[in-house]
Amino acid sequence: MHRRSIPAWVHVGVLCAGLISPVAHALEVLRADAAYDHGVFRIQFEARLAATVADVAAVLGDYAGYGKLDFRIRRVELLGSQTDGAVLMRTLIHACAGVFCRTVERVERVKTAPGSLVAEVIPERSDIRRGVARTSWQQQDAGTVVRYEAEFEPDFWVPGFIAQRSGVKELRESTLRMFKSVEREANDR
């Protein structure tokens, strides 16, 4: 029986791989449902992040840093806070679905509570007719489970076949990318 010896560089590679942080791409998607119906986009997303709940909360509460979470966000502007503690936030997002692209202005009223965040679109100041996003997070073992549900209706025409195919796919993929970024930023704290 002839045995091959394993080259030394393989041993070094395996050793180094074990030294790399196990959280590099540890996000586990539990649910990622996106849909488009009668002009309204919806997503329900749930994932387990390999990051502490405190660090995830810090990243999600850093509104000015949202541009680091999604490359499509071109600008974030904090417009002030309201008497109940809600923050008004304006974002410019370069959104594409297939070849259909547009820079979308969105002004939201963002309200936080321990373990949750709700962002409601202010339609008269946005390119969105109506919209709300709810994010919650809780510790699970050494990580954090996040739940994100959003529903929004653009205040501009999106061809139905583009929305159904490319728009839904991009919504799902961009949400996944965003929460991978949340995990990365949380672990970099």
pLDDT digits (tens, 9 = 90+) for 136-149: 999 999 999 999 99
- Using the predicted structure, report yes or no on whether residue 7 has a pLDDT greater than 80: no
Say what the pTM is.
0.84
Which one has a higher pLDDT value, 19 or 89?
Answer: 89
Q: Which residues of 8-46 are buried (b: 16+ CB within 10 A; e: fewer)?
A: eeeeeeeeeeeeeeebeeebeeeebebebeeeebbbbbb
Specify the pLDDT at position 25: 54
Q: What is the pLDDT of residues 9-50, one digit of tens each?
A: 333 343 334 443 444 458 999 999 999 999 999 999 999 999
CATH topology of domain 26-187: Alpha-D-Glucose-1,6-Bisphosphate; Chain A, domain 4 (3.30.530)
- Give the CA distances from residue 11 to residues 18, 21, 44, 173, in Å, rounded to whole numbers and listed in that order: 11, 18, 42, 36
Distance separating alpha carbons of residues 87 and 64, to the nearest angstrom = 11
Give the residue-averaged pLDDT of 156-160. Answer: 89
Enumerate the domain spans of the chain: 26-187
